[in-house]
Amino acid sequence: MLNTDVLVIGSGPAGASAALFLATYGVDHIVITKYRWTANTPRAHITNQRTVEILRDMGIEDDIRAQGTPSALMGDTVFCTSLVGDEIGRVRTWGTHPARRADYTLSSPSDNCDLPQTLLEPILIGHAAERGSRIRFDTEYLSLEQDDDGVTVLVRDRLSGHTYPIRAKYVIGADGGRSQVAKDVDLPFEGQMDVAGSMNIVFHADLTRFVEHRPSVLYWVLQPGSNIGGIGMGLVRMVRPWDEWLIVWGYDIAQAPPEIDDAMATKIVHDLVGDDTVPVTIRSTSLWGNNKMYATRYRAGRVFCSGDAVHRHPPSNGLGSNTSIQDSYNLAWKLAAVLSGQAGEELLDSYDAERAPVGKQIVLRANKSIEEFGPIFEALGFTDSDDPAAQLASMRARAEDTPEAAAQRIALREALELKDYEFNAHGVELGQRYRSGAVVGDDTPEPEYDRDPELYYHPTTWPGARLPHCWLGHDGHKVSTHDITGKGRFTVLTGISGQAWAEAAAGAARALGIEVETHVIGPGREYTDVYDDWARLREVGESGAVLVRPDAHVGWRAHELLADPEKELTEALAQLLSRS
Ligand SMILES: Cc1cc2nc3c(=O)[nH]c(=O)nc-3n(C[C@H](O)[C@H](O)[C@H](O)COP(=O)(O)OP(=O)(O)OC[C@H]3O[C@@H](n4cnc5c(N)ncnc54)[C@H](O)[C@@H]3O)c2cc1C
Ligand 1, atom 12: closest residue by C-alpha: 320
307 Cα: distance to centroid of ligand 1 (angstroms): 8
Which atom of ligand 1 lies at the shortest distance from residue 140's CA? Answer: 42
124 Cα: distance to centroid of ligand 1 (angstroms): 14
User: Does the Cβ of 308 fall within 6 Å of ligand 1?
Assistant: yes
Q: Ligand 1 test: best mutation among 33, 48, 201, most atoms within 8 Å of CB? A: 33
User: Does the Cβ of 468 fall within 6 Å of ligand 1?
Assistant: no
User: Does the Cβ of 44 fall within 6 Å of ligand 1?
Assistant: yes
441 Cα: distance to centroid of ligand 1 (angstroms): 35
Alpha-carbon distance of 545 to 30, in angstroms, equals 38
- Count Cβ atoms within 10 A of the Cβ of residue 565 and give its class: 0-12 exposed, 13-18 middle, 19 or more buried: buried
**Helix, strand, coil abundance in the chain, percent, nearest 5:** 35, 25, 40
User: Does the Cβ of 117 fall within 6 Å of ligand 1?
Assistant: yes
Q: Ligand 1 test: best mutation among 41, 156, 308, most atoms within 8 Å of CB? A: 308
Which atom of ligand 1 lies at the shortest distance from residue 231's CA? Answer: 1
Centre a 10 Å sphere on the Cβ of residue 141 and count the other Cβ atoms it contains.
23
Which atom of ligand 1 lies at the shortest distance from residue 46's CA? Answer: 8
Low-confidence ranges of the chain (pLDDT < 70): none
User: Does the Cβ of 318 fall within 6 Å of ligand 1?
Assistant: yes
User: Does the Cβ of 320 fall within 6 Å of ligand 1?
Assistant: yes
Alpha-carbon distance of 398 to 375, in angstroms, equals 15
Q: Please say whether the dihedral angle defined by the alpha carbons of residues 542, 543, 544 and 545, taken in this order, is positive or negative.
A: positive
Ligand 1, atom 13: closest residue by C-alpha: 44
Q: Check residue 232 and give its pLDDT.
A: 87
Which atom of ligand 1 lies at the shortest distance from residue 323's CA? Answer: 11
pTM of the model: 0.98
Q: Which residues are CB-contacts of 163 (< 8 A; sequence separation ≥ 6)?
A: 142, 154, 155, 156, 157
308 Cα: distance to centroid of ligand 1 (angstroms): 6
Alpha-carbon distance of 351 to 430, in angstroms, equals 18
User: Does the Cβ of 14 fall within 6 Å of ligand 1?
Assistant: yes
User: Does the Cβ of 355 fall within 6 Å of ligand 1?
Assistant: no
Q: Check residue 382 and give its pLDDT.
A: 86
176 Cα: distance to centroid of ligand 1 (angstroms): 5
CA dihedral 323, 329, 335, 338 (to 10 degrees): -120
Which atom of ligand 1 lies at the shortest distance from residue 35's CA? Answer: 47
User: Does the Cβ of 180 fall within 6 Å of ligand 1?
Assistant: yes
Rounded CA Rg of the chain: 25
Q: Check residue 580 and give its pLDDT.
A: 79
User: Does the Cβ of 315 fall within 6 Å of ligand 1?
Assistant: yes
Ligand 1, atom 15: closest residue by C-alpha: 320
User: Does the Cβ of 176 fall within 6 Å of ligand 1?
Assistant: yes
414 Cα: distance to centroid of ligand 1 (angstroms): 33
Q: Please say whether the dihedral angle defined by the alpha carbons of residues 312, 316, 320 and 321, taken in this order, is positive or negative.
A: positive
User: Does the Cβ of 191 fall within 6 Å of ligand 1?
Assistant: no
Q: Ligand 1 test: best mutation among 153, 311, 324, 365, most atoms within 8 Å of CB? A: 324
31 Cα: distance to centroid of ligand 1 (angstroms): 16
Ligand 1, atom 6: closest residue by C-alpha: 44
Alpha-carbon distance of 136 to 565, in angstroms, equals 48
User: Does the Cβ of 13 fall within 6 Å of ligand 1?
Assistant: yes
Ligand 1, atom 21: closest residue by C-alpha: 321
CB 306 within 8 A of CB 326: no
Taking every pair of Cα atoms in the chain, the longest distance, rounded to a whole number of angstroms, is 78
Q: Which residues pair with 79 in a beta bridge?
A: 89, 220
Ligand 1, atom 5: closest residue by C-alpha: 44
Alpha-carbon distance of 453 to 166, in angstroms, equals 44
Q: Ligand 1 test: best mutation among 55, 175, 218, 244, most atoms within 8 Å of CB? A: 175
CB 343 within 8 A of CB 579: yes
Q: Can you give the three-state secondary structure of 48-93, one letter per residue?
A: CHHHHHHHHHCCCHHHHHHHCEEHHHCEEEEEECCCCCCEEEEEEC
Q: Check residue 461 and give its pLDDT.
A: 98
User: Does the Cβ of 219 fall within 6 Å of ligand 1?
Assistant: no
Q: Which residues pair with 304 in a beta bridge?
A: 172, 299
420 Cα: distance to centroid of ligand 1 (angstroms): 25
User: Does the Cβ of 112 fall within 6 Å of ligand 1?
Assistant: no
12 Cα: distance to centroid of ligand 1 (angstroms): 5
User: Does the Cβ of 116 fall within 6 Å of ligand 1?
Assistant: no
Q: Please say whether the dihedral angle defined by the alpha carbons of residues 11, 14, 20 and 21, taken in this order, is positive or negative.
A: negative
pLDDT, tens digit, 9 for 90 and up, residues 342-393? 999 999 999 999 999 999 999 999 999 999 999 999 999 988 888 989 988 9
Q: Please say whether the dihedral angle defined by the alpha carbons of residues 457, 461, 465 and 468, taken in this order, is positive or negative.
A: positive
